[in-house]
Amino acid sequence: MPFFSNGMEYLIHIGILIAIYAILAISLNLIVGYTGLISVAQAAFYGLGAYATAILLTNFGLNFFLSILVGIVVSGVAGLLIGMVLSRFKGDYYVLGSFGFNILIYSIFLNWQGLTRGPLGIPGIDRPSIFGFTFSSNISFLILVAVAAFIIFLFAQFIARSSFGRVLKAIREDEEAIQIFGYQTHRFKLAIFVVSACLAGVAGAFFASYITFIDPSTFTLNESIFILSIIILGGLANLRGSVLGAFCLIILPEILRFVGFPSEIAAQMRQVVYGLILVLLMLYRPQGLMGEYKL
Partner 1 sequence: MNKIITIIVVLVVIIGGYFALKGGEIQNKEQIKLGVILPLTGDFAVIGEELKRGIDIEVGRLQERRVDIVAIYEDDKFDPREAATAANKLISVDKIDFAMVFSVEEARPVAPIFNNAKVPLVATWDSNQFLKDAGPYVFSNGFSTEKSGEIMADFAYNKLGLKNIAVIAHIDAYAEIISKSFEDRFVDNGGKIVYNDAVQVGTTDFRLHISKIKSAKPDAVYFPIIPFDSVSFLKQAKETGLNVPLLSVDGLIQEVIDAAGSAAENIYFTNVYIESPELPDLYKQKYGVESYGITYVASGYEALKKIGEQLPTSDLKATLDQVFGPTRSADRIEKIYQVKNGVPVEVK
Q: Which is nearer to partner 1, 266 or 279 (CB)?
A: 266
Between 8-32 and 239-257, two packed helices, what is the crossing angle to 10 degrees? 140
295 contacts partner 1 (rule: CB under 8 A): no
Distance between terminal CA atoms of the chain?
48
276 contacts partner 1 (rule: CB under 8 A): no
Q: Rounded to whole angstroms, how far apart are CA atoms 40 and 23? A: 16
Of the residues 108, 143, 159, 211, which one makes contact with partner 1 according to CB under 8 A: 211
- Burial tier of 12 (Cβ tally within 10 Å: 0-12, 13-18, 19+): middle
Residues 34-73 that bind partner 1 (CB under 8 A): none
Least CB distance from residue 113 to partner 1, whole Å?
8
Contacts of 73 (CB under 8 A, 6+ apart): none
Q: Which is nearer to partner 1, 59 or 217 (CB)?
A: 217
Least CB distance from residue 129 to partner 1, whole Å?
16
Q: Which is nearer to partner 1, 16 or 171 (CB)?
A: 16
244 contacts partner 1 (rule: CB under 8 A): yes
Residue 184 main-chain phi, psi, to 5 deg:
-85, 85
Of the residues 134, 268, 279, 286, which one makes contact with partner 1 according to CB under 8 A: 268
DSSP 90: -
Helix (H, G, I), strand (E, B) or coil at 134: strand
- Range 74-78 contact pairs with CB under 8 angstroms and sequence separation of 24 or more: 74/48, 74/49, 74/201, 75/45, 75/48, 75/49, 75/197, 75/198, 75/200, 75/201, 75/204, 76/194, 76/197, 76/198, 76/201, 78/44, 78/45, 78/48, 78/105, 78/197
10 contacts partner 1 (rule: CB under 8 A): yes
Residues 97-126 that bind partner 1 (CB under 8 A): 107, 110-111, 118-121, 123-124
Least CB distance from residue 107 to partner 1, whole Å?
8
Least CB distance from residue 108 to partner 1, whole Å?
12
Residues 212-231 that bind partner 1 (CB under 8 A): 212-215, 217-218
User: Which residues of this protein are in contact with partner 1, per CB under 8 A?
Assistant: 3-11, 13-14, 17, 107, 110-111, 118-121, 123-124, 211-215, 217-218, 244, 247-248, 251, 254-255, 257-258, 263, 266-268, 270-271, 289-290
